[in-house]
Structure 1
Amino acid sequence: MAAAQTSPSQVMGSYIALVLIWAATPLAVVWSISGIHPMWGLIGRYTFSLLLMLPLLKILQQSFPVNPLALKSYVAGSMNLIGGQFFMYLAASYLSSSLIALMYGFAPLLAGVVGHSILKTQKLKWFQWLGMVIALCGLVVVFLGQQNSGFHLIGVGMMMISLVSYVFSIFWVKSINAPVPAMAQATGSIAVSFLLSMLIVPFVWQHFPTAISSAKALSGLAFTVVASSVVAMLCYFSLLHQLAPSTIALTNVITPIVAMCLGALLNHEHISFTAVCGMVTVINGLLLYFGQELIALIIKPKTA
């Protein structure tokens, strides 16, 4: 398959691009739904993304398999989009962008626990369990420091559901292992997500946006369509053929730092000193948990 011909430098480039895009996505989501119902932000994202991807498939002459295995893979991929993103958009009404990114930092932990306890595909070492405990303690500190600034228990619950959907999608697509090009996989998953998002329309029709959105909202929508849904999904599904699920989820280790800076600089989000200490603790826990994989990810391209 084409994925097997991908060079180590291309893998690293896709990985870095995915980290940067996903770091900025929570802020883009918060901006895109400013003044409108969150679900219309999600529906608009998948509508415009699909309108962009379909012509790209034609222009680049990419194949689009529609056999049963490929269709199953598209459905599996949509669990990250319509499943995970559905609840993230709802959570964006309750949480700041930096807290959303921080919660996604727990995706690698969840992926590791699933692989260890349920799928039996990996065995966690003592320092990984220690890293998990440290990260969880750090998250508690963040919540204590942000109780009056961008924190809401409902939003946290929605983000937990989003995380489960995201991790489930990774393992499902990986287990299907369909011989589908990354662009076809991204397009198919977005198409399924678009169709499922249409089921939401009757419930939010009364909230249909009637006014022209602000420049900030439009820029947020443009970013989620072009970068988050198209470019990031191409990188994401390409990497799924190259790396382990837990390594894919590892992209979320660095995103909280970048997202926190973006939220403070561009969205004037207040982050207390206690919350900063908690975020540092979380990231240290994640680094301890995935220290070996980080080192392997850095060294592998150099030794390939």
Structure 2
Amino acid sequence: MILFQYFLMCMIFGTTFLAIKVGIDAGASPFFSAGIRFFLAGVILFIIMAWKGRATVSILLRKEMFLTGMGLTFGVFASLYWGEQYVSSGIAAVLSATAPLIILLLQSGISRQMLSTLSWAGCFIGLAGVILLLLPGVTVTFSMLWIAGCTVILFGQIFFAAGTVYSRRVAQQFQEVSPITLNAAQMMYGGAMLLVLSLITEDVHMASMLAPNALLSLFYLIIVGSMMGHSIFYWLVAKTNPVFPATWLYVSPLIALCLGAVLYHEPISFLSLLGGIAIVIGIVLINLNSLQQLWSKKRATTPADNKV
């Protein structure tokens, strides 16, 4: 179940960078569209969970939901949406792939434990794979706005890493609460913060927001990207560890490349193929201990299942 949810999450998130870019290119205001996306997704999920009897308003009054929303939603997506005005979706995916490495650094700093050589090697191999993957198709015109966009997106990954590590604590603290409810609550807070930021900094043009591509991008990101993808991510953080779910950031450029080849007949170069192989190797190395534990649990339950 964990591996299936992981692959589904990777498939979903592999399309979101392009969906964000489509909306922004259609004229949607970055902070406003991000705020609407996450606030509405959070509200809808929370209402569904409350209807099922698995969410209460009291959870919204906890400071943990505010802090998680600041990290996982507000900080990272304010940076990403703003940066994608000046940076291609492919470059944004490459820069976002630094998050697992930052998570490892945070975890090692908090726990004061040395990380295994395999984990470090996996992070660097995976990051190198992402760069190799996108290198053939990336053309960059250097400008101050391009540099600013890259810097802001990188800065946002610090929020993402901190939010991911902290959300693991929150999931353990609120074990009686569904991870989907926790995700809905943090998205509501993060979305509300993005809307406040938009109110202060943006002049929103509703005509642009109602353009077909902008609406299509928004609906897709609300339903598929946020309600489905982020709920699976939060569930995986609660069930495994903060690093394992975050490795989707290594897989998303590979998925984007495959979609481009199948849907738009884009060529796949040798460097891209080499990058894809490096990504898979990196993910395996980072999560080798987790994969061994999952395999051991599966083997331990097999004999009992055979006796039934």
Counterpart for residue 305 of structure 2: none
Is the counterpart of residue 249 in structure 1 residue 246 in structure 2? yes
Counterpart for residue 14 of structure 2: 23
Output the CA distance in 1 between the equivalents of 2:94 and 2:42: 28
Output the CA distance in 2 between the equivalents of 1:155 and 1:272: 27
Is the counterpart of residue 167 in structure 1 residue 161 in structure 2? yes
Segment drifting more, 166-175 vs 49-58 = 49-58
Is the counterpart of residue 103 in structure 1 residue 99 in structure 2? no
Q: TM-score, normalised by structure 1?
A: 0.80
Counterpart for residue 42 of structure 1: 34
Is the counterpart of residue 219 in structure 1 residue 210 in structure 2? no
Aligned residue for 1:254, secondary structure, equals: helix
Counterpart for residue 87 of structure 1: 79
Instruction: Give the Å deviation of 1:91.
Output: 1.9
Counterpart for residue 5 of structure 1: none
Aligned residues: 292
Aligned residue for 2:25, secondary structure, equals: coil
Distance 1:44 1:133, change over 3 A: closer
Is the counterpart of residue 290 in structure 1 residue 286 in structure 2? yes
* Structure 2: 5+ residue stretches without partners: 302-308
Task: Note the alpha carbon deviations across 1:26-46, whole angstroms, 9 max, x for none.
Answer: 111112222222222212212
Counterpart for residue 149 of structure 2: 155
Output the CA distance in 2 between the equivalents of 1:14 and 1:216: 29
Instruction: Give the Å deviation of 1:54.
Output: 3.9
Output the CA distance in 2 between the equivalents of 1:271 and 1:108: 29
Instruction: Give the Å deviation of 1:24.
Output: 1.4
Instruction: Give the Å deviation of 1:193.
Output: 1.3
Instruction: Give the Å deviation of 1:130.
Output: 3.6
Q: TM-score, normalised by structure 2?
A: 0.79
Counterpart for residue 200 of structure 2: 203
Instruction: Give the Å deviation of 1:84.
Output: 0.9
Distance 1:300 1:263, change over 3 A: farther
Is the CA contact (8 Å cut-off) linking 2:126 and 2:281 kept in structure 1?
yes
Output the CA distance in 1 between the equivalents of 2:209 and 2:81: 20
Output the CA distance in 2 between the equivalents of 1:94 and 1:270: 23
Segment drifting more, 157-166 vs 56-65 = 56-65
Instruction: Give the Å deviation of 1:297.
Output: 6.8
Is the CA contact (8 Å cut-off) linking 2:244 and 2:287 kept in structure 1?
no
RMSD: 3.3
Is the CA contact (8 Å cut-off) linking 1:105 and 1:256 kept in structure 2?
no
Output the CA distance in 2 between the equivalents of 1:297 and 1:33: 42
Output the CA distance in 2 between the equivalents of 1:174 and 1:25: 23
Is the CA contact (8 Å cut-off) linking 2:130 and 2:250 kept in structure 1?
no
Output the CA distance in 1 between the equivalents of 2:12 and 2:193: 24
Counterpart for residue 32 of structure 1: 23
- The letter of the residue matching 1:75 is F
Distance 1:211 1:248, change over 3 A: closer
Percent identical across equivalent pairs? 15
Is the CA contact (8 Å cut-off) linking 1:27 and 1:263 kept in structure 2?
no
Instruction: Give the Å deviation of 1:300.
Output: 5.2
Output the CA distance in 2 between the equivalents of 1:72 and 1:142: 40
* Structure 1: 5+ residue stretches without partners: 1-8
Task: Note the alpha carbon deviations across 1:73-116, whole angstroms, 9 max, x for none.
Answer: 31232111111111111122233323323333332222222222
- The letter of the residue matching 2:240 is L
Task: Note the alpha carbon deviations across 1:52-78, whole angstroms, 9 max, x for none.
Answer: 22431343222226269x723312321
Is the CA contact (8 Å cut-off) linking 1:57 and 1:63 kept in structure 2?
yes
